[in-house]
Amino acid sequence: MTAQRHQYAARLVWTGNTGQGTATYTGYGREYTVTVDGKPDLLGSSDPAFRGDPTRHNPEDLFVASLAACHMLFFLSLAARAGIRVLAYEDDAEGTMAMDGVGGGKFDQVVLRPRVTIDEGSDAELVAQLHVVAHERCFIANSCNFAIRHEATVQRAPNGGAS
C-alpha cells in the first residue's frame, strides 16, 4: 500500500525593507506577509526580543499554536468517533526555546494544557486516553525532536451541557 501524501504551500514575502535593504542589522524591519491561496494573509514579524513588531505573529508563537491546534483537531475527531460529546475546548499552550549562545537556538519543550468540557454522559477516563492517542497521532508533534507534553483536564458541563 502506497502512503498517502499531502502537499502544503505558502508564499512568504519580506515587507521590512525600509529603503536600504539589510545594509545594517538595525536598519531593516522584520515584517513579512504569509499568503496561502484562498485564505486571509497572515502578517508576521520576528519576536520582539529579536527586533520584531510585537503586534504581529512571530514564528515561535505560530509554532506553539500549530502544535496545540493539531492536538485539538485530532482529539476532537477521536472524541466524536468514540461518542464523547465535547462541549468546549481551550488550551493554554507554552513552549520553551533555549538559545545556544552563538545566535541560534531551538525549542526544547512544549506543554499543551487542554481543558475539555464534556457532557454528563461522557466517559472522563476515555477522554484522558483519547488525549494520549491524539498526542501519538499529531502530524506536527510527530515532526518534532523535543518533548511535547500534555496536561489535560476534563470537566463536566453543569446542567447536563445545556447552553
Tens digits of residue pLDDT in 48-101: 999 999 999 999 999 999 999 999 999 999 999 999 999 999 999 999 999 999
**How high is the mean pLDDT of the chain?**
92
- Consecutive H or E run containing 96: strand 94-99
In the DSSP assignment, the letter for residue 8 is: -
CB 90 within 8 A of CB 117: no
Q: What pLDDT score was predicted for residue 7?
A: 92
Residues near 11 by beta carbon (within 8 Å), at least 6 away in sequence = 34, 35, 36
Q: Model-level pTM?
A: 0.88
Q: How far apart are CA 124 and CA 117, in angstroms?
A: 10
Half-sphere exposure of 45 (CA within 13 A, CB side): 16
Q: How far apart are CA 118 and CA 139, in angstroms?
A: 25
Q: What pLDDT score was predicted for residue 35?
A: 96
Measured CA to CA in angstroms, residue 61 lies from 49, 99, 120, 146 at distances of 13, 16, 34, 16
pLDDT band at 162 (very low <50, low <70, confident <90, very high): low
E strands in 3-92? 11-14, 32-35, 42-44, 86-91
